[in-house]
Chains A and B, each alone.
Chain A
Amino acid sequence: AQSVTQLGSHVSVSEGALVLLRCNYSSSVPPYLFWYVQYPNQGLQLLLKYTSAATLVKGINGFEAEFKKSETSFHLTKPSAHMSDAAEYFCAVSRGGYQKVTFGTGTKLQVIP
């Protein structure tokens, strides 16, 4: 079975501060890992994904995530938060090769001016 755990359902950062959203995965096979973002009243949108190529993955809007097998982690970071980053972020895992994607419970990011 595969699963992801997102630590912290709510995270607050000041505008311009580092954003760090945590995700740990559990998978019996090398995983495919994703971060999606959901803005209010919208569907989810892919930020970035890891599919066993480079361990540091760069996504849209200045976000990046690093796959660390030893820590079973795939944390999402952005050096400087912007007000427009306020949204809910979902980590997700699949086995790849088209298999079912399992989503985490989400982390709501608040950016304080």
Chain B
Amino acid sequence: DAGVIQSPRHEVTEMGQEVTLRCKPISGHDYLFWYRQTMMRGLELLIYFNNNVPIDDSGMPEDRFSAKMPNASFSTLKIQPSEPRDSAVYFCASSPHGDHQETQYFGPGTRLLVL
């Protein structure tokens, strides 16, 4: 398996622009997570899905952030409008159902810089 795939790997944009981050989880995994990593705040869970349904979005910082999972093989995290304080590395992770459901498999991340 190719693992969790994220695109783009790097994104540079200007304040006010819309940013869309994409994730393809590992096939057969029921859970998908979006995290944000910064030096100041560490690794923060933004939202997670189970079988394409959002379960907990309490970590989404504000209404400018939205996430969707239209099917089992694709998810997006959108920021509109973007702000410099959104600059961070955004990770997508997926997790299987069953005995190993606690183990999360992380993608390589998208490094976002908002100017």
B108 within 8 A of A: yes
Contact B4 A43 (CB under 8 A): yes
In the complex the two chains form, what is the Cα distance from A43 to B4 in whole Å? 10
Query: Given A90-B43, A100-B48, A106-B42, do A46 and B108 touch, yes or no (CB 8 Å)?
Result: no
A-B pair count, CB < 8 Å, reads: 47
Interface size, A (range): 20 to 34
Interface size, B (range): 20 to 34
Residues on B with beta carbons closer than 8 Å to the beta carbon of A45: 106
Contact B91 A43 (CB under 8 A): yes
Main secondary structure of the interface of B (DSSP, over half): strand
| A 28-59 contacts with B by CB, 8 A | 32, 34, 41-46, 49, 51
B103 within 8 A of A: yes
Residues on A with beta carbons closer than 8 Å to the beta carbon of B91: 43-44
Residues on A with beta carbons closer than 8 Å to the beta carbon of B4: 43
Q: Taking the nearest CB of chain A, how far is it from the CB of B74, in angstroms? A: 18
Q: Can you show 22 pairs from A to B with CB atoms below 8 A apart?
A: A34-B102, A41-B108, A41-B109, A42-B108, A43-B91, A43-B106, A43-B109, A44-B93, A44-B104, A44-B106, A45-B106, A96-B102, A98-B95, A98-B101, A98-B102, A101-B45, A101-B102, A101-B104, A103-B42, A104-B42, A106-B42, A106-B43
- B residues near A (Cβ < 8 Å) are 4, 31, 42-43, 45, 48, 50, 56, 91, 93, 95, 101-109
For the complex with contacts A42-B109, A98-B101, 16 further pairs of A-B residues with Cβ separation under 8 Å are: A32-B102, A34-B103, A41-B109, A42-B108, A43-B93, A43-B109, A44-B43, A44-B104, A46-B103, A90-B43, A98-B50, A100-B45, A100-B56, A101-B104, A102-B45, A103-B42
